[in-house]
């Protein structure tokens, strides 16, 4: 189980309870951390301000997920059992491998905003693409394989 909870000072922390044990804050966090996904190996991914972190199944090994070159922030959305995470580096849809290395997902010409939503065991990613220059923004469903 994962989530977020406040500490004694009222600061939000990403927390986990591996295999039904007591909830504990994950180490090395800044204010406002939020755990967003966990896989069957108890690897947790979380957003901490403008960056994303990955904790090993034991919670001791911490990896910061890389930015795409020229990007300023990351936002992780999920992780599958193979250890592949999905999310955004600024407005670009990306994946991260188990070492936190980033790879951009392809975006068709004319579309400049991507929103990956979920990744399955096979590594297929469901999400949305849009041209954010028009109003209202019109999203299109997409699957990256």
Is residue 21 predicted with pLDDT exceeding 90?
A: no
Length of the chain: 145
pLDDT tens for 63-105 read: 999 999 999 999 999 999 999 999 999 999 999 999 999 999 9
Residue at token pair 């199944």: 57
Identify the three-state secondary structure at position 70.
coil
Find, among 82, 91, 97, 73, the residue nearest to 127 by Cα. Answer: 91
Q: Which structural domain range is residue 110 located in?
A: 2-144
CA–CA dist 25, 22 (Å, integer) = 10
Q: How many domains does the chain have?
A: 1
Is residue 59 predicted with pLDDT exceeding 70?
A: no
CA–CA dist 70, 89 (Å, integer) = 9
> Token digits for 29?
């966090």
């Amino acid at each position: 189980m994962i989530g977020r909870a406040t500490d004694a000072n009222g600061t939000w922390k990403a927390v986990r309870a591996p295999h039904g044990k007591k909830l504990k804050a994950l180490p090395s966090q800044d204010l406002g951390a939020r755990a967003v996904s966990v896989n069957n190996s108890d690897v947790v991914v979380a957003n901490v301000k403008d960056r994303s972190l990955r904790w090993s199944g034991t919670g001791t090994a911490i990896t910061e997920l890389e930015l795409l070159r020229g990007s300023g922030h990351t936002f992780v959305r999920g992780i599958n059992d193979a250890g592949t995470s999905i999310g955004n580096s600024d407005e670009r849809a990306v994946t991260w491998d188990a070492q936190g290395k980033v790879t951009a997902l392809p975006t068709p010409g004319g579309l400049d905003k991507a929103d990956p939503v979920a990744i399955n065991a096979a590594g297929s990613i469901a999400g949305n693409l849009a041209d954010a220059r028009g109003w209202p923004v019109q999203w299109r469903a997409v699957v990256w394989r």
